[in-house]
Structure 1
Amino acid sequence: MRWPRQLMALLFVLVLLAGPPLLLLTLVGPPISGLPSTAQVRAWVQQPLTEQTLTAALTIAAWLVWLMLAYTVAVRILIRLRETSAWLRRLPLPTPLQATASGMAGAAVFGVTTNALPTTPPQPPHLASGAVALQDGASPDEHGDAIHDDGIVVSGGWLPRDVAEQVVAAAALVWLRRRRDYQPSSASRDDADLAPLPPTVAAVQAALADVPTPPAAPMPSSGMSALVEVLPASGVGFTGPGALPVGRGLLVTALLAGHHQSARSLITTKAALASLLGPAAEALGPRLPLTIVDNIDEAAQLVYEADAHASKQRPDAPSSAAGQRRIVLLGEHDGDEPQLKRLVEASVATATVVVALGQWRAGATWHADSAGHLHDPHHPEVTGPRLCVLDQVAATDLLAIIALPDPAPPDPAISGSLLPHAGSPDLRLPRQATGHEPRLQCPTSRQRLHLRVLGDPQLLVDGEPLAIRRTAALQILVYLATHPAGADTAQLTDAIWPGLPRRSLTGRLYTALSDLRGTIRAASGLHAIDHVDNRYRLNAAHVDVDLWHLNAAIHHAATSTLTNTHPAWQAVLDAYPADLAEARTWPWLDPIREATRRQIIDLCVSLATAAPESRHAFQLLQAGIRIDPYNADLHKHASRALTALGDHEAATELHDRYRQTLMRAGINDTASRHLSSTTIRQ
């Protein structure tokens, strides 16, 4: 709770303002008791430094310091009052808008049939503490948290909780597909696909990183069913400052829902998409799982065709089911009266929702405020549901994770320079044993601090885990373990708190670092983190990191000239008990985690290719599959090795298990075909 701290701060300011004057008046008296006489001036000129003059000077200086303090407090109060007044003036009030009369306008009125908006008490647009009224391009309050009970605040918008969960799920699928498609056997390694996900996606991931997901609902629920239930059957138009942000949020929400459930679809015109995404519409639109049309007649025809196709596929399913309803998104000036009439008839007959970004001439028009709340002009006292609101940058970032890959080749300049080298130059493994010698274990370090980042991150002091209270402190440890060269303040804050302004995060970072250093020093008496040249580094003399041993083992195995490579290969597998920070979903981890994993499966494939006999090659490939069960190239090589051994049944079983693994992860062939169903009608 903030009010105790605020009350203490207020009392402290009052003491500073009232204490010095009372003390000075009591001990010294008023600073000036009248104008000095001529004799007093003559005496001061003859002997300026006396006890009385020094006391008077110090008293005047004390009063001047107090006046400066009082002036500063007064200025801050005036600034706060001005900000509060401006905030009150910006509060969006329901503006009655004239709705065009039509035969289906009654379905849009609040409180009628199942399309009525819930009669919840009016809520101001600043529901979440720490968030400002989100206008197009606005950012969240730099002192507030990004996650709240009702949604996630990001730079440039606000997402309902279920939509944010779908963003996280879609981001996870991006990395699973990258794992599936990586080819460790390729001659020239290309790590261009290890580029981090867009900043808005990282901000959503960070907001939900340490929030547990209920076990009964591992897949996020779709927000579309609840959304289409509140929209009129005859269509609706959105006006007001939130019209375009709400339209972008609707686009993202619909495509995220269709990303997992192919029964839903979205149709939009080129003009509507351009008004929402701006210059990015031309390049991004063809890669999205939606249908882009030139005019409303094409949209109406597609609605009829899609409904007829769905009826053939599932004749027993009601076409009006909310889960099957499609959305047609129109621009403000799309279509004339006859075209609108035909589209309305098609939408009512097929349970399709029509949304216009502007006045809807064939039905109701609702007012959308900058925070995403809807207001029916017929019931201005009722605040409708809050929809997702996004600016162009945030919407483009979120759409990028559900778009087909860009056909343009990656820039070779960024390949190989995306990630830090996570090895320690001073860390060496002992000479590996030959086939006639027992394999040597990695020597036990004499250091008292052991940092394990492979698996669940833990800091061990003399073999006992040390409790780290702050999640940010644990992230700092893991981040520095993966960046032995160190990191500066900007790099740490951008990684741990993506999407938030740096100027508001420096204090958080220093607090986490101070707490972490104090905890380690109290437990071991050692300084684990150095700060040199404005960079923070783990002190290699005091901290032993398992990831550094792994990279040393990989380097040794990759450069080994021994005839028997089995000991070097086995040393790598022994040094890799689990993925980097396996249970953590911090967004900055994914590229480094995948790069580390790729080093090992590259080694497995290289050794298998050079193996003299197929059984040994299959064992190496099987070890790689255990490390990355989603990689298609590993399974292809393993299947070939089994076929070479004559075990066709095992090869078939391996292929079936792999398909089941992909289906359980949601990256099966059906999902891939669904993404490639984008249609552009010229």
Structure 2
Amino acid sequence: MRLSRQLISLLSVLTLLAGPPIVLLSLVGAPIQGWPTAGQAREWVQNPLTEQTLTAALTIAAWLLWLLLAYTVTIRVLTRLSATVSWLRRMPLPTRWQATAGGIAGAAVFGVSSHAITAPPPPPTQPAAAGTLDEAGNPTPPDRDVLADAGISIAGGWLPRDVAEQVSAAAALVWLRRRRSYRPHPPGPPSREDTDLAPLPPTVAAVQAALADSTPPPGEPGSASAGSSLLDRPTVGDAFPRAGVGLTGLGAQDAARGLLVTNLLAGRHHPAVSVVATRSVLVGLLGPTAETLARRLPGLAVMDNLGQAAAFFSDAPSGRGLGGRGQAQRDTQEGTGTPGPTLIVDEASATDNTETLASLATACAVVAVLGRWPAGQTWQVDPSGRTHHLDGSGSAGPRMCVLARVTATDLLTVIAHPDPAPPEPGTSGPSRHPALAGRSPQGVVTAQDHPVRSGDDKRHLYLRLLGEPTLLLDGHPVEIRRTAALQVLVFLAAHPDGADTRQLTDAIWPGLPRHSLTGRLYTTLSDLRATIRSTAGVALIEHSDDRYRLDPTGVTVDLWHFHDAVRDATTAVATDAAIWKAVIDAYPGDFAARRTWPWLDPIREATRRHVIDAHAALASASPDAREALAWLQAGIRIDPYNADLHTRAVTALVTLGDHDAADVLRKGYTRRLAAAGITPTDSDLTTATLMDQPAVPTR
């Protein structure tokens, strides 16, 4: 049936394209029969409206309409062809071993006949990731191309998988640091305006989403066990020549940015310098923000020239920077200790200081020259990161991480130190990401905004967001097949005012072209609506003016009731412990616990801070020291990374005379920060001085 409709459509288009020219040529003739003579022009000026001129005008108009139709059809056909070609390019091709296995299977199927010859079965082929056997029966390494291509493609670059994993880990560390530095203050409305609740750059969200969508099975190429030849450090497997490598081609600048980001990510847990770059190179790679960003990047040393770099290598004392050039050289040669840094210079500096660069190469893990490098190898890098040797052999080199300028800058922000004078966490200011903004004038989600269904309804929907997100019908979970559909449901519940198509696609599928996601969103919404309608018999999702929202009369959401409790505590005239306890009781767990969707963090942290504020308020208002300590300890269980709660709890323990418990709490907090990858600072250890204070008797 579908084929017949397509055939009828094709015949109709062909008729519209071929019919008008045939009719016009047979009735009128060719559209142009020569230019008019001077006499014909004078005659037309004197008498323009004749039968002949009107016929010519109508003929020209008919031809123009036909040309417009032909142009439209041509554009549609070219668009379809372009989309088909793009799809074919994205379609994964079989590897060499898969093609061989397919050929053997095909020969086995089509070669069977009545005269089939029985032959011994061929030996089983080894998986590409596990290695194969050569002709002599010796094991050979895995397919290098398969391992090298195990990465993440995003708009603006390509990252090896383990680099993407380090980006995701660094992003998580940013939120842990924000949790550590938050200082509880008098609670405010649900739509918090804390400036440190701003979401991370979109590139980071794109990496996190792509990483989640492409998790390979354990042991396969691209998994964490497979590793990458270009990370921690890029010298693994001698991928980079010791004498340095020149980078040329369209992807040279992007590859240099990839080296910069890769090494800074790999070295963020080490005190040593990870990257040394000249100032001119850094400005060329990162643009006008290079100077400001460089001051905030741990592990980056910026030099004016190679002479200054040589002095830095030789003068660095032990324990700082490189730990001394001689020790760095011995560690690099022996393969022990932390590998040396990556040195990135431009072609002019390298050519003018060949001997200096050769001496520095002994203390560096990688020396990269932006341009041709006669003293070593030169690789041509294409925009996808694939390299080819320019030594005449044309052999392929490793695939490098490639990043555009904006992409690299976004990724560097997750490992950069905060601004020198960051805004006080918890203070109000211009809202960059109004988490959970409601529809009421104060930005508070009230019960009047979301009336619940009457008690006469036998089938009731309840959406649980605090904890594991679950949709319940009369207490029983409703199965939502698509993960994206569950995301849409949670996102709409977290934004009661609704969301348009752009907001939904940017949140659910960050980093992907928006124009290609409209159909996927409609399919997801259609499946979600069908599931809820068939299960509960209600149309829960409303759509008007290109905005989707949940029908407040069709579902009860625990997050909305939590914000009602926060509003009651914020607007109460008198301080009453019961209103703060109501906030705590309405919080059974973190928002969308155990989910790692990139858009969750600002909302999850804003919700958690309301509960921390409630615990701190109860502790401050409590007349009994032990009761205040109990509230602080309960707050620590909600957020075990908050420094202010630990400081207050240690102070309370010292005041009560329990020095041992205070010491245990302080040391446990320090170990927890270290296990998470956060180096404790002096501000985290301010409670240490309290240990020497005498105990204060309590009543």
- TM-score (structure 1 length as normaliser): 0.73
Equivalent pair of 1:487/1:536 in contact (CA under 8 Å): yes
Q: Could you say which residue in structure 1 is the equivalent of 2:269?
A: 260
Query: Are 1:649 and 2:634 an aligned pair?
Result: no
Kept in 1, the 8 Å contact 2:278–2:345? The answer is: yes
Match of 2:436 among 415, 420, 443: 420
Aligned to 2:304: 294
2:537 matched to 1:528?
no
Aligned to 2:199: 196
For 1:156, the aligned partner's letter is G
Q: For the residues of structure 2 that align with 1:451 and 1:119, how far apart are their CA atoms?
A: 48
Once the two structures are superposed, residues 79-122 of structure 1 have per-residue CA deviations (whole angstroms, 9 ceiling, x without a partner) of 6678999999xxxxxxxxxxxxxxxxxxxxxxxxxxxxx99788
Root-mean-square deviation (CA, aligned residues, Å) is 4.2
CA drift of 1:530 comes to 1.3
Q: Which residues of structure 1 form unaligned runs of 5+?
A: 1-7, 23-29, 37-64, 89-117, 128-147, 430-442, 674-682
Task: Find the counterpart in structure 1 of residue 369 from structure 2.
Answer: 356
- Give a deviation string over 1:36-58, Cα, whole Å, max 9, x none: 9xxxxxxxxxxxxxxxxxxxxxx
Deviations 1:449-506 (CA, angstroms, capped at 9, x unpaired): 1111111111111211111122221111111111111112221112112222322222
Q: Is the 8 A contact 1:662 1:668 kept in 2?
A: yes
Structure 1 position 588, deviation (Å): 1.0
Structure 2 CA distance for partners of 1:315 and 1:446, relative to 1, 3 Å? farther
Aligned 8 A contact 1:604 1:624 in 2: yes
| Equivalent residues of 2:234, 2:365 under 8 A apart | no
Q: Is the Cα–Cα contact under 8 Å of residues 630 and 662 in structure 1 kept in the other structure?
A: yes
Structure-to-structure mapping, 1:530-569, within 5 angstroms: 530-560=542-572, 565=577, 567-569=578-580
The equivalent of 2:183 in structure 1 is 183
1:232 counterpart = 2:236:
no
| 1:630 match: secondary structure | coil
- Per the TM alignment, residue 615 of structure 1 is displaced from its structure 2 partner at its CA by 0.9
1:210-359 aligned at under 5 Å gives the runs 223-225=230-232, 227-228=234-235, 229-263=238-272, 265-289=274-298, 290-304=300-314, 305=316, 309=324, 319-321=334-336, 324-335=339-350, 337=352, 339-348=353-362, 350-359=363-372
Instruction: Report the residue type matching 1:377 in the other structure.
Output: L
**Distance verdict in 2 for CA 1:519–1:418, change over 3 Å:** same
| Structure 1 stretch displaced more, 295-304 or 308-317 | 308-317
- Tell me the equivalent position of 1:628: 639
Q: 1:119 to 1:655 in 2, by over 3 A?
A: closer
Match of 1:17 in 2: 10
Is 1:582 aligned with 2:596? no
Q: Which AA in structure 1 matches 2:177?
A: R
Identity over aligned pairs, percent? 51
CA distance in 1, matches of 2:175, 2:261: 20
User: How far does the alpha carbon of each residue in 1:247-266 deviate from its partner, in whole angstroms, 9 at most, with x for none?
Assistant: 11111111110113445611
Letter in 2 for 1:424: V
Q: Say which SS state the counterpart of residue 201 (structure 1) adopts.
A: helix
Deviates more, 1:77-86 or 1:155-164: 77-86
Q: Deviations over 1:293-348 (max 9, x none)?
A: 111022223334465548769988964459613211112322553x3212212322
C-alpha separation between the residues in 2 aligned to 1:213 and 1:617?
A: 48
Match of 1:136 in 2: none
- Per the TM alignment, residue 20 of structure 1 is displaced from its structure 2 partner at its CA by 9.1
Report deviation, 1:395: 0.7
Shift of 1:670: 8.0
1:386 counterpart residue number: 399
Of residues 461, 485, 506, the one that matches 1:494 is: 506
Cross-structure match for 1:5: none
One-letter code of the match for 2:538? L
Give the 3-state SS of the residue equivalent to 1:651 in structure 2. helix
Q: Where in structure 2 are the equivalents of 1:44-83 lying within 5 Å?
A: 75-78=75-78
Give the deviation of 1:380 after TM superposition. 4.4
Q: Residue type matched to 1:206 in 2?
A: A
1:569, distance to aligned residue in structure 2 (A)? 3.3
SS of the residue 2:616 aligns to: helix
What is the CA–CA distance in structure 2 between the aligned matches of 1:416 and 1:288, rounded to whole Å? 24
- Aligned partner of 1:162 in structure 2 is 162
Q: Give the counterpart of 1:666 among 651, 663, 677.
A: 677
Q: Unaligned stretches of 5+ in structure 2?
A: 16-21, 29-64, 89-140, 439-443, 685-699
Contact 2:332/2:364, CA 8 A, preserved across alignment: no
1:515: which partner in 2?
527
The normalised TM-score by structure 2 is 0.72
